[in-house]
Amino acid sequence: MANSQSCKYNVLRNEKYGRYLVANKDLDSGELIFTDIPFVVGPKPDSPPLCLGCYASVENSLCLKCSWPICSSECEKAQSHVGECEVFSTANVRFQNVNDWTASAPQLDCITPLRLLLAKEKDPERWQQELNVMETHNEARQQRPSWAADQANIVDFLVDHCKLGRKFDKELVQRVCGILEINTVEIPSRGGFSIRAVYPRLAIAAHSCVPNIVHTILLSDYQVQVRAAVPIKSGETLHLCYTHALSPTLFRREFLQESKFFNCECPRCADPTELGTHLSTLKCNKCDNGVILSTNPLDNDAPWMCTESNCEFKTSGAAMQKMLAVVQAEADQLDVLEPGPQAIEQREAFLKKYKSVFHPRHSLMLSIKQALGQLYGRVEGYNIDELPDIMLERKVEFCRLVLKTLDTIMPGESRMRGMVLYELHAPIMYMARNEFSAGTLTQEKLKDRLQEPIQYLADAARILMREDPQSPEGITGQIAYHSMEQLKASLDSL
């Protein structure tokens, strides 16, 4: 990772971040900063049985040589599978049959650690330079139940059952488990399942809940492209967001502590209002105007209180966490619904049910509104050309609300922004056309009004066409570009 003239960052080190990246030149929004090839790619923990070549779902289809899940003869020969196939067939260790091929299979937990060990053996120099310096937090990991599970399912399994003790000792295998737990990124795969990968350079980027860089995965070789989301000045730290951007502070900090072993103290986490977005804010039912905020967001146990001075409402951090977990579980149930009328109606019922509990921009409410912004116009009974103006306006309202929040917590050119901009263009276009058809809009005014959806399509296309062309976002980017061209052409013919 030596710096060259084309390198746009430096690697620095401090006590807070360890190693981290800073820009060594001014960067434009959308500018490619670097690409990175994964050191290893493989299944993530708790995956169901999946093809170890392409990561597609598989049932009762095993490799002819090693008898581990493989979907085709082509995948049997996949470079990613050849090494482990040799290990399993030599040791005569077979995949144990399962009753439910859709349930998680702990047997697969050993695959990515084994691949990392084999990659270390194949490229010891890259291992030494890029992987051996990675954090493992082994002392903290030893205090958790997952350590014993890793010891049994991965360490003892690989060293003893697979007879790899001559090559790799148990301490090294646990170290590899730590490297994977702390440093992997969850990525999409060609086969449809989420998998994980270690990107040595991406792993150095520091975390912030308000990131200034974004990354894209190319499915052909799982290369990652890292770009500036906003203009970045020379000397500024490059920040990636390790969590889901729309999560409230309690959930984000819990995730980071559990998975990355640090407590985030970024400005967003430290502000009870989350920089004015109110993603963690509740309404007070004890008084008319008050809202409920944490008295110290950097302490999960801190009490939550009403902001009105004459209101005495107060609750514990533990009670808040419990309530949020219950409502989040209810919201998660909505995500498993098939896209259809029920998916819209149940989400609208959720918003109505919790209207008096949460701030309208609370994370749980906003995530539901984001989903509705996508569903309106896309499901049976709610097709875009059937929606009355009141529903078109509702779609617009939800999309604008998400965009306004992203302006603060994920500024610049992100996948989420691109997808929301694409959803926003359609209702604005249809409302303008409806007014024109009703005779309340002149042709010139129609042309003016349609400039807005054209701009949204242009912005969506620019952002999303950087994504893998086979991904949902990449496909949407192509559609946005062609829709923009068609809309421009129809305007010219008016």
Taking the whole predicted model, whether its pTM rises above 0.85 is answered as: yes
Tell me: do 187 and 67 sit in the same domain: yes
* Residue 157 DSSP code: I
Contact 346, 333 (CB under 8 A): no
Total domains, the chain? 3
328 and 409, same domain (yes or no): yes
Read off φ and ψ for residue 315, nearest 5 degrees: -140, 165
Is 346 among the domain residues? yes
For residues 26 and 234, the answer to whether their CB atoms sit within 8 Å is: yes
Look up the domain containing 236 and give its range: 9-37+199-240
What is residue 17's predicted lDDT score, i.e. its pLDDT?
82
Type and span of the H or E element at 33: strand 32-36
Residues 49 and 189 occupy one common structural domain: yes
Q: Which of 46, 40, 34, 37 is nearest to 108 (CA)?
A: 46
User: Is the domain of 149 the same as that of 221?
Assistant: no
Same domain assignment for residues 25 and 46: no
Residue 3: per-residue pLDDT: 41
CATH assignment at residue 216: 2.170.270.10
Q: Which of 142, 177, 197 is at the close of a domain?
A: 197
Q: How far apart are CA 353 and CA 136, in angstroms?
A: 43
Task: Please indicate, yes or no, whether residues 48 and 182 belong to a single structural domain of this protein.
Answer: yes
Q: Tell me which residue has tokens 């170890």.
A: 52
pLDDT of the residue at 190: 87
**Same-domain pairing of 143 and 153:** yes
pLDDT number for residue 4? 41
Q: CA 138 to CA 179: how far, in whole Å?
A: 9
Residue 44 belongs to a domain = yes
Q: Say whether both 27 and 90 belong to one domain.
A: no
Do 16 and 56 belong to one domain? Answer: no
Q: What is the mean pLDDT of each run of 10 residues along the chain (494 residues)?
A: 65 88 96 96 93 92 95 92 95 92 92 97 94 91 90 94 93 95 92 93 95 95 96 97 94 92 94 97 90 95 93 93 96 94 96 96 97 95 93 97 98 97 97 94 94 98 96 96 96 84
